[in-house]
Homo-oligomer: A and B are copies of this chain.
Amino acid sequence: MKEAEVKALLVDPMNNSPVILLKDRNSTKAMPIWIGEAEAMSIALELQGQTFPRPLSHDLMKELLEALGGTLERVVISNLKEGTFYATLYVRTPDGEVKEIDARPSDSVALALRTRSPIYIADEVFEQSAIESPFAEEERFHEFVDRELRLSEFRKRAQSS
């Protein structure tokens, strides 16, 4: 099991899809995961320490968890099947029981960042998809340079929702 941190949020120029780069804390390797735009914006805002004027889906998820006395103990990117990553949330109930909940990595990471919960990657998943020194891969990705533009668009879109 690797403990991971969100190293970067990038855009894959091939399909304009956001990518999160999860770096192994104990090596120079990192693993890219392609995610949806709404989840990317939610992760970006949290990484930048910004809050949206209204609670985003993952802010609400955190509020629900807290209102019910649950704790997100950890998130594990547990599987990779046919190009799709699977994650598991380990949620401790007020009774001390730990429940495993199936989730997408994007939701898992967006929530883990908000609850300051550790993110792990199963070794076999990491070995299949990790890349050495991601910043040698710069030509495959470009920085999330249009982030400000996208954030303002996103703000506009989510404004009255």
Contacts and interface: CB of A to CB of B under 8 A. Distances in A.
Identical copies in the complex: 2
Interface string A74-100: 000000000111100101011000010
Contacts of A93: 67-69
A28 interface: no
Nearest to A57: B57
Dominant secondary structure of chain A at its interface with chain B: mixed
Contacts of A54: 84, 86, 104
Given A64-B64, A67-B99, 4 more contacts: A35-B160, A36-B38, A57-B57, A64-B91
B67 A64 contact: no
Contact of A160 (B84, B102, B160): B84
